[in-house]
Amino acid sequence: MRTFRVNNIFYSLQGEGHNTGRAAMFIRFAGCNLRCPFCDTEFDSYQEMTDKDILATILPYDTRFVVLTGGEPTLQVDETFVDLLHHHGYEVAMESNGTRPAPQNLDWLTVSPKEDGKWKVESGMRMPDEIKIVFDEHTAERLSSFSLPPSVIHLYLQPCDTGDAAKNKAITHACVEYIKTHPQWRLSLQTHKLIDIE
């Protein structure tokens, strides 16, 4: 029996990226190896939960799609925990900043490279199913030197939520214009914020 530092567990809809709109159990793990200024997670607070505690919390809900997020879930989650979820019938997705190896047995991996961290691409690493980059006023310049692995076919740009409506509008406009000239990317909106759900 293992113990994890868990920030929050909640049932909602996936609001971002390829799986937008799917009912999902979110397990938000505490702790991160980056400190991005736009992060919307209070990842320093947590309660300690065993793997059995986590299962007892999520099993009563109807969905069998679970999203492991954070913080940075690769700091705590390994293949044994993913196997446990698989054993109970769950499809397991993870959202990671890509700076650490992710479990190979995930069903879906979203990597969201951050400006302050380097995405490691090493031999034998689990390649992401989607890349989702938070887009701000500096992203277009950064993307000019960004190397994409050829195996990733789902590419998303997500306008950064700065908390300032006027700035958000300008960023979203710039993101849309970038995608129009770089159509390999798709727009990801934080739909959970648009419809005011967790």
pLDDT in tens, 110-134: 998 876 545 656 666 788 999 999 9
Predicted pLDDT at 51: 96
What is the percent of the chain where pLDDT is above 70? 90
Predicted pLDDT at 119: 61
Predicted pLDDT at 147: 73
Coil, strand, or helix at residue 87? helix
Q: Categorize the per-residue pLDDT at 182 as very low, low, confident or very high, splitting at 50, 70 and 90.
A: very high
Least confidently predicted of 4-8, 60-64, 98-102, 123-127: 123-127
For the chain, domain boundaries: 3-194
Least confidently predicted of 11-15, 45-49, 118-122: 118-122
CATH architecture of 3-194: Alpha-Beta Barrel (3.20)
The residues carrying an active-site annotation are: 26, 32, 36, 39-41, 95, 192
Q: Is-contact 84 54, C-beta < 8 A?
A: no
Dump pLDDT digits (tens) for 49-62. 999 999 999 999 99
Instruction: Give dist(CA 86, CA 109) in Å, integer.
Output: 15
**Is pLDDT above 60 for 148?**
yes
Predicted pLDDT at 65: 98
Q: How many CB atoms lie within 10 A of CB 169?
A: 11
Q: Indicate the Cα dihedral angle 23, 27, 28, 33, nearest 10°.
A: -120
Predicted pLDDT at 38: 59
Compute the C-alpha angle 71/92/158, nearest 5°: 50
Tokens of 61: 């809900």
Predicted pLDDT at 193: 87
Least confidently predicted of 1-5, 70-74, 77-81, 118-122: 118-122
Q: In one letter, which amino acid is 116?
A: D
Rounded to an integer, the average pLDDT of 185-196 is 88
What is the percent of the chain where pLDDT is above 90? 66
**Is pLDDT above 90 for 27?**
yes
Q: Categorize the per-residue pLDDT at 71 as very low, low, confident or very high, splitting at 50, 70 and 90.
A: confident
Coil, strand, or helix at residue 28? strand
88-91: long-range pairs with CB below 8 Å, 24+? 88/55, 88/59, 89/64, 90/25, 90/58, 90/64, 90/65, 90/66, 91/64, 91/65, 91/66
